[in-house]
Amino acid sequence: MSQPHQIIQVRNLAKTYPGGTEAVRGVSFEVREGEFFGFLGPNGAGKSTTINMLVNLVKRTSGSIVIDGMDLEHNGSEIYSRIGFAMQEIGLDETATAREMLQLHGRLYHMPTAKIDEQIAKLLKLVELEKVADRYASTYSGGMRRRLDLALSLIHEPRVLFLDEPTQGLDPHARQLIWNHLRDLNRQGMTIFLTTHFMDEAEQLCERIAIMDRGQIVTQGTVPELLAQHSAKNLEEVFLKTTGSTIAEEEVNFNAPDPYARRRR
Please write the tens of the pLDDT for every residue from 171-190: 888 888 889 989 999 999 99
Cα distances (angstroms) measured from residue 9 to each of 1, 27, 71, 124 = 21, 11, 9, 32
User: How high is the mean pLDDT of the chain?
Assistant: 87
pLDDT bracket for residue 215 (50, 70, 90): very high
140/98 Cα distance (integer angstroms) = 10
Task: Report residue 210 CA to chain centroid gap.
Answer: 13
Quick one: DSSP state of residue 137? G
**What are the DSSP E strand ranges found in the chain?**
6-16, 22-32, 36-40, 62-67, 70-71, 83-86, 160-164, 191-195, 208-213, 216-222
Average pLDDT over residues 30-50: 93
Average pLDDT over residues 77-85: 91
186/197 Cα distance (integer angstroms) = 20
For position 29, what pLDDT does the model report? 96
User: What percentage of the chain exceeds 70 in pLDDT?
Assistant: 89
Task: Report residue 22 CA to chain centroid gap.
Answer: 21
Q: Exposed, middle or buried, 216 (CB in 10 Å: 0-12/13-18/19+)?
A: middle
Minimal CA–CA distance to 39: which of 26, 24, 51?
A: 51
Architecture of domain 6-258: 3-Layer(aba) Sandwich (3.40)
pLDDT bracket for residue 244 (50, 70, 90): confident
User: What percentage of the chain exceeds 90 in pLDDT?
Assistant: 65
Tell me the sheet residues that pair with 27: 13
For position 89, what pLDDT does the model report? 66
75: how many CB neighbours lie within 10 A of its CB?
15
For position 93, what pLDDT does the model report? 81
pTM of the prediction?
Answer: 0.85
For position 265, what pLDDT does the model report? 34
